[in-house]
Structures are given as structure tokens and as C-alpha cells.
Amino acid sequence: MYVISDLKDVSLSGTAVCLGNFDGLHLGHRLIISSMKEEAAEIGAKTVIFTFYPHPFKFFGKDIKLLATPRKRLELFEEQGVDYLINAPFNGELAALSPECFFKDIIIGVLGAEAVVVGRDYRFGAGKSGDTDTMAVLGRKYGVKCLSVEKLKSASGEEISSSRIRRLIAEGDVGEAGDLLGAFYSVEGTVIHGDGRGKAFGFPTINIDAAGELTPPAGVYATDTLINGARFKSVTYIGTRPTIEGGGEPRVETNIFNFDRDVYGEFAQVFFRKRIRGEMKFGSIDELKAQMAADSAKAVNAE
């Protein structure tokens, strides 16, 4: 996959393109991409994912924590098996384009699209003034096949969306969020020094600097931890440690089972499988240690 981050470097032809923000690359997004790949196979076109960085919400000052870091997002895109990823800088000039100018100058003029695939709720152009009906009209005008994919629904009948997955994670329902993403939700960052309390209790932990990421609410989770290319079962605590005097700022602490290596400064990724319990304050350190043992046992056996 060729990754291009400046539209000045793009001059393609004979392509099938899918467009979107693709935050988290959930099952609905993957359906759009697979539909684009099917269309490309039919017409013998190269495949292109066209997206933006930063997310338009962030450009317009909306406070949003995304489902994927830039590194994780790129990794997810690489798994899709397309020819090109255009990660275009979102700026005022691009935001000001009318739907027709965006379609004519960018989708056709830069991307060389012969076919375009988007989600049914896709909006484009200045002020989000263009929708899939607008795109269909422009497609007919300029001879480009335009397809829109209906929203995929979960087993409960609700539409799958990035905003819904964010809500699930904020509520601690990491299991359902993972089902909609098609993979366990994760946070990632550098392993930083803690205060050694976990080790003193018999449960040594690594602390992850996941600043800026969307983390599940305070509590204990069954997790997997990826570090140095190896994946381990683990149990992760998020919170301020109310039982310990001076517990401090919220932190992400992970006890990796059967792991005793020094990994300070290394990159780690923590995948959330299941929520075990919420935050609790215990009457004594011994009660806390007994609960930590029980939490670990549940995490080991979690599906």
C-alpha cells in the first residue's frame, strides 16, 4: 500500500475510491472498503482509500477523542489490502470547496476516480452541503459510477457508527465495542515508571502513558498486552487508586501474567477484552490484595 499525505503528490487515474473519516475502522467501514474493492475488481481499477488528517471535527475545534491513534489507524488501513491510502491534510482551503468543486477537482482531477463508494450518510463539501444524492447527480454529470452503502447494523438492530462505539467505551462496555470494531479496542503508549506499589503487593505492573486516548472508565479489565511483538494475557486497572493514600492522577496499570522483563521506555498496546468490575475503595490493603488476586483469576479465564 502506497501512503500519500500531500495532495500535491497525487495524480492518479483509473481508480475506484472510497471516502470517509474511518475512525476506528469498524465493521461498517470495512464493508465500504470491501464494496470498493469489489467494484475495482469489476472494472479493473486500482483501489484508493481517501481520508483526512486531522479529523475534520478536530479541525473545527470539536473536543473528540478518536478510536485510533495515527499509528494504529495506519496499521488498520494496511490490513485492508488496497493500493493507495491518501491521508489528505484537512485545511481551510479544502473545507471551503463546494460539493461540485470537491467532486470535480479532487475526486476526479486528483484521484482519477472511475467509481466512488461511500457510506449512506456521507456528507462532503463546504458546510457538509453535499450528500449521497448530490454525489449521484455529480456522478451522472461527470461519468463516474457512485455507490452508497447502507449502514451496517449490529445483532441488536442498532446502526454501527464510530460515535456509538465511543459511547460504549465511555460506558465501559468494551466487549460490545470490540464486536462492532471487529477487534478488541486498544490503547497504546510508552511504558513509564510508576511508584512500585503493584510490585510490593505481589502484582507488578507496567504503566502506560496513554495521554489523549479514549480510555474506558475507572475499573478493572481482562486484557491482552502486546509488547516487543509478543502478546500476553493481562489484567488492567484504570483509576486513581482510592484505597491507597495519595493515589494521585488517573493511570493505566497492567499486570502481565508470567512476565518479568524490564520494559521501561518501550512501546506497548493494551487490548480490552472484558470489564471485570468498576472502581472500588477497600477497607484495608489486605482486602485490596485479595481482590487483585480474584481479578487476576477472572482475567486469566476471560474469553
Q: What DSSP line would sit under 160-212, residue for residue? A: P-HHHHHHHHHTT-HHHHHHHHTS-EEEEEEEE---SHHHHTT---EEEE-TT
pTM value is: 0.91
The number of beta carbons lying within 10 Å of the beta carbon of residue 101 is: 13
Contact 32, 18 (CB under 8 A): yes
Which pLDDT value is given to residue 287? 87
Percent of the residues in the chain that have a pLDDT greater than 70, as a whole number: 96
**What CATH number should be reported for the domain holding residue 91?**
3.40.50.620
Does 127 or 200 have the greater pLDDT score? 127
Q: Which of 270, 273, 293 is nearest to 203 (CA)?
A: 293
Which strand ranges, in their side-by-side order, compose the sheet holding 145-149?
A: 2-4, 84-89, 46-53, 15-19, 113-119, 145-149
Cα distance between residue 255 and residue 1, in whole Å: 36
| Residues 58 and 193 occupy one common structural domain | no
The pLDDT confidence band at residue 121, using thresholds 50, 70 and 90, is very high
| Residue for grid cell 465493521 | 27
Name which of 159, 88, 89, 148 is nearest 118 in CA terms: 148
Do 144 and 230 sit in the same domain of this protein? no
In this structure, how many other beta carbons lie within 10 angstroms of the beta carbon of residue 30?
A: 17
| Domain range enclosing 232 | 184-301
88-117 confidence digits (pLDDT tens):
999 999 999 999 999 999 999 999 999 999
Count of domains forming the chain: 2
Assess if residue 163 is contained within a domain: no
- How far is 152 from 159, CA to CA, in rounded Å? 6
Q: Is residue 56 part of a domain?
A: yes
Residues paired with 130 in a beta bridge: 124
Report the alpha-carbon distance of residue 303 to residue 297 in Å, rounded.
Answer: 12
Predicted pLDDT at 212: 82
Residues 10 and 145 in one domain: yes
Q: What is the CATH number of the domain that holds 266?
A: 2.40.30.30
pLDDT, residue 21, reads 93
Residues 11, 130 share a domain: yes
Residue 164 belongs to a domain: no
105 and 236 share a domain? no
- What is the pLDDT, as a whole number, of residue 106? 96
pLDDT in tens, 245-294: 655 678 899 999 988 888 999 999 999 999 999 998 888 888 888 888 99
pLDDT at 199: 61
Q: Hey, which residues does 16 pair with through a beta bridge?
A: 47, 115
**pLDDT digit string (tens) for 177-230?**
999 999 999 999 999 887 666 566 667 889 999 888 899 999 999 999 999 899
- Which of 37, 20, 39 has its CA nearest to residue 28? 20
Q: Identify the pLDDT of residue 247.
A: 56
Residues 225 and 106 both lie in one domain: no
pLDDT value of residue 196: 63
- Element containing residue 51 per DSSP (H, E): strand 46-53
pLDDT of 165 strictly over 70: yes
The DSSP bridge partners found for residue 53 are: 89
Q: 62 falls in which pLDDT band (50, 70, 90)?
A: confident
Q: Is the pLDDT score of 79 beyond 90?
A: yes
Mean pLDDT of 14-24: 96
Nearest to 270 by CA among 231, 212, 228, 219: 231
Q: Which among 292, 272, 28 has a CA at the least distance from the CA of 173?
A: 272
What is the sign of the dihedral through the CA atoms of 99, 104, 110 and 116? positive
Q: In DSSP terms, which residues pair with 252 in a beta bridge?
A: 238
Give 174: exposed, middle or buried? Use CB within 10 Å, 0-12, 13-18, 19+: buried
